A = this chain, B = another copy of it.
């Protein structure tokens, strides 16, 4: 499947792949082996014609009237989204969340690893905590250059997030995963993704409250 990674997918298609993958994994876990584009459209809220067109970019994945093979689709999509190249990650902010992420080290993909940890707490900078030496934020640009780091994960709280992200961008990093949900401003060439736990929780509760089919006792 190597050729798939080299071929550029339409960006709109690429954006939908993680959504497809997430829903396919849930189907797989509930024992669904085959799915038709119409059924998958209902689940993903993507029109079935779009799904068929997207999947056609990925090769011969389905047969007319038969549907798509769920485990095979998962394999293909996982392969496309997987990073085969080793990616070095700077972790910014070493509180509880930073520690959880540093130790987790994204186990499911061995090409993702936290290379260096940064904070600006004088009590932490220069210390080794667990396996991680903590650098000061003023050392970021230097360490990023030396280590060839291209990705940053920021666990810096919202009110300091913009200034942390400015330092990250100045250091030449172009991909940022931000755990502070308030949007920050970055140059066009920088990709930033937000993890917003309050919204995830609110969405869950909204569905549980509004659409629940339970009989309340």
Contact = CB atoms under 8 A, between A and B. Distances in A.
**Which range holds the interface residue count of chain A?**
35 or more
Interface string A21-59: 110011011100000000000000111000000000000
24 contacts: A15-B45, A18-B199, A18-B203, A28-B183, A29-B182, A47-B47, A80-B206, A82-B202, A83-B202, A87-B205, A89-B201, A95-B100, A96-B97, A106-B198, A108-B181, A109-B201, A112-B201, A174-B208, A175-B205, A188-B213, A191-B204, A191-B207, A193-B204, A195-B197
Interface of A: 8-9, 11-12, 14-16, 18, 21-22, 25-26, 28-30, 45-47, 80-83, 85, 87, 89, 95-97, 99-101, 103-104, 106-109, 112, 150-151, 153, 174-177, 181-185, 188-189, 191, 193-214
